[in-house]
Amino acid sequence: MSISATSKTSTGQESTFQHALYPYRGDAQFLAGTLGFIREALTAGEAIIIAVPSDKASLLRDELPDEPAVRFVETSTAGANPGRHIAAWTAWMSQHGEEGRPVRGIGETAWRQARNAAHLSELRYNEWLLNRAFASSPAWSMLCPYDAGDEDPAALRSVARCHPLIHQDGQSLPNDGYLGADDYAFDALPDACDPYQELVYTSGDLSAVRSKVSQCASDAGVREDQLPKLAVAVTEIATNSIRHGGGQGTLRTWAQDATFLCEFRDSGFISDTMVGRVRPAADQIGGRGLWLAHQLCDLVEIRSTPDQGTTVRLHMDIPR
């Protein structure tokens, strides 16, 4: 799937959203970069929102005075699914930012806690999507600390491609490796793992889809309290296939690496890169299916092109 990105706002102006990657090694470098970023913000009268792992939050709290302009947020409220993170940042900005006052964010993604390759790929995609999500927010900038201590240059390059700026020596400089307006290059979805179950569905088959998924998920070891959530999610995605994907779709289910997967394929095309990642308005008609899937599942992968149609994979963790 290729999704065209742009560094411009909806009005055609260049985005002023500042999104910088900060590679660091060790706690001393982490503190040097983040504290400098925070002090610049305080000097300029800006607000700060900090969303980092608990151990890094403790380091910063020990170094910072009691400052009302600095707000720490609980990152666990967003969950591990990267598809929920943009909505979480939007909510934090709304709750803690003041109208008309510039806001800086510090957000460290838990790269090392990625459960598998699919989760890591979605974490990278979310970082790239932040540039689109906040392109029209001129009073908003974000520093993304990244622990580069494992000396893996390939991993660092992959993450850097999602950030327009690199923060070094107290400055955020243009990043030559940023994808920018080029197409985002998704990792190819691996084939379904044998043995898998398959069902072709169309109008009137939603009950059969729910039944098939529920039985397969239960057999695979998905927790019983997760089954109703999965039933809602698969109903929404299958309904989207029937309504927007040519009237039918193909369901596949299988278990792999402590994960239960439901894959939906149809001939439709999703052009909106932000679909499912922005909370629907209360009076909005439709457009809630992928949002609900992101809220209910542990991971959602979407691949969609005009020539190949759409594939949506829902992941639910299986207790080890």
Question: Is residue 41 classed as helix, strand or coil in its secondary structure?
Answer: helix
143 in helix, strand or coil? Answer: strand
Least confident of 33-37, 60-64, 109-113, 223-227: 109-113
Name the pLDDT band for 2 (thresholds 50, 70, 90).
Answer: very low
Domain boundaries, the chain: 2-185, 197-317
Whole-angstrom Cα distance, residue 256 to residue 205? 26
| Cβ-based neighbours of 97, under 8 Å, separated by 6 or more | 47, 49, 103
Residue 6: pLDDT above 70? no
Q: What is the pLDDT of residue 3?
A: 33
Question: Tokens at residue 261, please?
Answer: 């997967």
Segment 28-43 mean pLDDT? 95
pLDDT in tens, 116-133: 999 999 999 999 999 988
Report percent pLDDT > 90 for the chain: 68
Per-residue confidence band for 10, with pLDDT thresholds at 50, 70 and 90: very low
Q: CB of 269 within 8 A of CB of 310?
A: yes
Pairing assessment for the beta strands 165-168 and 103-107 based on DSSP bridges: unpaired
Question: 102: which 2 tokens?
Answer: 């510039």
Confidence of residue 34 (pLDDT cuts 50, 70, 90): very high
CA-based nearest residue to 311, from 158, 118, 130, 129: 118
Alpha carbon distance 250, 225 (integer Å): 26
- Residue 36, pLDDT score: 96
End-to-end CA distance of the chain: 32
- Look up the pTM and report it: 0.89
Amino acid 50 reads I
Assigned CATH class of 197-317? alpha beta
CATH number for the segment(s) 2-185: 3.40.50.300
Q: What is the pLDDT of residue 184?
A: 78
Tokens of 105: 């964010």
